[in-house]
Amino acid sequence: MSLGLAVLAVTLLAIIIERIFFRKKKFKPFEKGQVLLNSAPEGGQENIQLYVRITITLVLLCASLYIILFNQQNEAGIKFAIGTIGTITGYWLKT
C-alpha cells in the first residue's frame, strides 16, 4: 500500500511542477526601446516538457511492473498497478 501511495505522490508532484513551471506565459507587447533577450533555443520549452513526461512515465511503469511481477500477495496493489499502466497507456494514446 505504501508503494502505491508513493507512486500517487510522485504523480501529483509531477503534475504540480509541470503546472507551475511550464505554464504558458501571457503575451505582453514590447514597448519602444525594449530589448528582447532570448536565452532558450526555439522549441526548448516543448522539449523539456516531453522529457519530463517521458521520465514520469518510465518511473510509474517501472514501479507498476515491479508490483505486478514481484508482489504477488497483495491483490489491491496489483489492481492499482494495472490501473496505473492502463492510465499511462491511455495518456500516450491520447497525445
pLDDT at residue 72 in the model: 81
Q: What is the mean pLDDT of the chain?
A: 75
Instruction: State the pLDDT at residue 84.
Output: 92
The pTM of the full predicted model, rounded to 2 decimals, is 0.55
| Residue-level pLDDT at 14 | 72
* Burial degree of 14 (CB within 10 A; 0-12, 13-18, 19+): middle
pLDDT, tens digit, for every residue of 50-92? 888 888 999 999 999 888 888 888 888 889 999 999 999 888 8
Better pLDDT: 35 or 2: 2
Where do the structural domains in the chain lie, given as residue ranges? Answer: 2-21+44-94
What CA–CA distance (Å, rounded) separates 45 from 51? 10
Cell of 43: 522549441
